[in-house]
């Protein structure tokens, strides 16, 4: 049984290939990507950009596309990471018809595990087995956590569910 599961993974998800080094893009789902800039040609993080770079990523045989799980931008003049495709609805849109594995990030303090599991199952079906989940216990951008009406917990306490302060 274990061997059958491993073989299915190798056939459907490029992350399970035999290469020792896996390649992918990171943070291309949000405005600015990884660069806080006012440059006129900054990344906007939308579907059109992904379509424009699809051929290059496929030609280089990247195994993954890893979007950032940002819940809101940083505001200010650049509103860094504000616009773009968000964590769970974004991956299916980015995955079709591309050939790499697509990630989504689930922040434990803000997404109930059952809800995350159901969303992940749907995305995995849509992507034909090319979905991977990045589980994060949280991150210290207080305004994002405050959107949920919960306090930003210390790292060691952020992994508990249910959230009872």
Q: Where are the alpha helices (DSSP H) in 13-112?
A: 47-59, 90-95
68: left (phi over 0), alpha (psi -120 to 50) or beta: beta
110-136 tens-digit pLDDT: 888 898 899 889 888 888 888 888 888
154-164 tens-digit pLDDT: 666 655 555 55
In the predicted model, what is the mean pLDDT of the chain?
A: 78
- pLDDT at residue 36, as a whole number: 83
The answer to whether residues 106 and 134 touch, using CB atoms and an 8 Å cutoff, is: yes
Query: What residue ranges define each of the domains in the chain, with the CATH number in brackets?
Result: 2-157 (3.20.20.30)
Confidence class of residue 20 from pLDDT cuts 50, 70 and 90? very high
What whole-number distance in Å separates Cα of residue 162 and Cα of residue 165? Answer: 9
Q: What is the pTM of this model?
A: 0.72
- pLDDT at residue 165, as a whole number: 47
What whole-number distance in Å separates Cα of residue 75 and Cα of residue 90? Answer: 21
Confidence class of residue 21 from pLDDT cuts 50, 70 and 90? very high
């Amino acid at each position: 049984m274990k061997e059958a599961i491993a073989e299915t993974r190798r056939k459907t998800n490029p992350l399970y290939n035999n290469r020792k080094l896996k390649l992918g893009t990171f943070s291309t789902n949000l405005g600015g990507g990884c660069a806080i800039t006012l440059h006129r040609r900054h990344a906007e993080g939308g579907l059109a950009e992904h379509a424009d770079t699809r051929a290059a990523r496929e030609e280089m045989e990247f195994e993954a596309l890893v979007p950032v799980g940002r819940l809101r931008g940083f505001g200010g003049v650049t509103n860094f990471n504000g616009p773009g495709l968000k964590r769970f609805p974004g991956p299916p849109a980015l995955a079709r018809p591309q050939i790499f594995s697509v990630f989504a990030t689930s922040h434990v303090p803000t997404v109930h595990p059952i809800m995350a599991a159901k969303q992940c199952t749907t995305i995995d079906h849509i992507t034909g087995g090319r979905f991977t989940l990045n589980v994060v216990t949280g991150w210290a951008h207080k305004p994002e956590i405050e959107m949920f009406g919960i306090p930003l917990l210390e790292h060691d306490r952020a992994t508990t569910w249910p959230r009872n302060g």
